Amino acid sequence: MKLSAKTLILDLLLATEGEPLSAREAISSCALFGIRENNVRVVLLRLSAEGLIEATDRGVYRLCGAAHELADEVATWRTAEARPRPWSGGWLVVHSGPLARSDRARLKARQRALDMLGFRELDPGLWLRPDNIEDGVDAVRARLVKLGLEASAGVFVASQFDAAREKRIARLWDGKALNASYAKLRRELESWMQRAAKLEPEVAARESLLMGRHAIRQIVFDPLLPAPMVDVDARHAFVETVRAYDRAGQAIWRQVRCLPARS
């Protein structure tokens, strides 16, 4: 898998968990993926001009603006399992029908917000998910708006759908596929950790980032469905494995001196 300099730099800034990243560290990190120094410097300037990063010192950068807010949300993958609560059978609903569809950037932000919180479209403009996350609809509404949903969208709780819609709702998520992905990714991560010590540090760093970003994305976009829609024990085991994998990957990247030491 080939990463662009932009994607890799943003991933590295996310991995530092708020710690600034120097141009030197970005250059040495990108070199592991065959990205040239001049390309890295150009991308740093572009990201700064786009308002996604800002300089904290000469040649030292951190996330800012919308990128910082999104990074904060992505970073919650470590505590994602604390979000679900007992499910009583109700549904969280977002009504996006009246919202504009001509603005591509707005549409993309709206879709990302809905995807990150596990909403699926039942009818045109009507999105829902089990009402088993956060501390209530107000908290869900606030998170959706923070992630890019328009504040004018209707967000509410519903129940007692007609029989036809109930059947369609049951097909919106593929619990078996989620269970299979938990098990498959867990096996792959555990296998990698067992052989990581035998790899050259640069190879281990490169592989850990590629596999890690895929595993973390799985958690970030996991719908956090309740039982019996998914195997919550399998999900927990997967998340615990990703935490261990992340710690191993962070240590490897610091070994090759591509990330700053944590303060």
Backbone angles phi, psi at 214, to 5 degrees: -70, -45
Task: Say if CB 223 and CB 246 are below 8 A apart.
Answer: no
Task: Say if CB 91 and CB 131 are below 8 A apart.
Answer: yes
Half-sphere exposure of 232 (CA within 13 A, CB side): 15
* pLDDT on residue 58: 87
Task: Say if CB 78 and CB 117 are below 8 A apart.
Answer: no
Give me the residues paired with residue 92 across strands: 129, 157
Instruction: Provide the pairing of β-strand 53-57 with 126-130.
Output: unpaired
Locus of tokens 């969208």: 153
| Total-model pTM | 0.86
* pLDDT on residue 135: 87
* pLDDT on residue 1: 59
Give me the residues paired with residue 123 across strands: 126
Q: Which of 131, 61, 65, 56 is nearest to 94 (CA)?
A: 131
pLDDT by residue, tens only, the chain of 263 residues: 578 889 888 888 887 766 788 899 899 889 989 999 999 999 999 999 988 888 888 888 988 877 777 777 777 888 888 899 999 999 999 998 766 677 788 888 899 999 999 999 999 999 999 999 988 899 999 999 988 899 989 999 999 999 999 999 999 999 999 999 999 999 999 999 999 999 998 899 999 999 999 999 999 999 999 999 999 999 999 999 999 999 999 888 887 766 555 54
* pLDDT on residue 109: 87
Q: Please give the Cα distance from 44 to 38 (Å, whole number).
A: 10
Q: Please give the Cα distance from 112 to 107 (Å, whole number).
A: 9
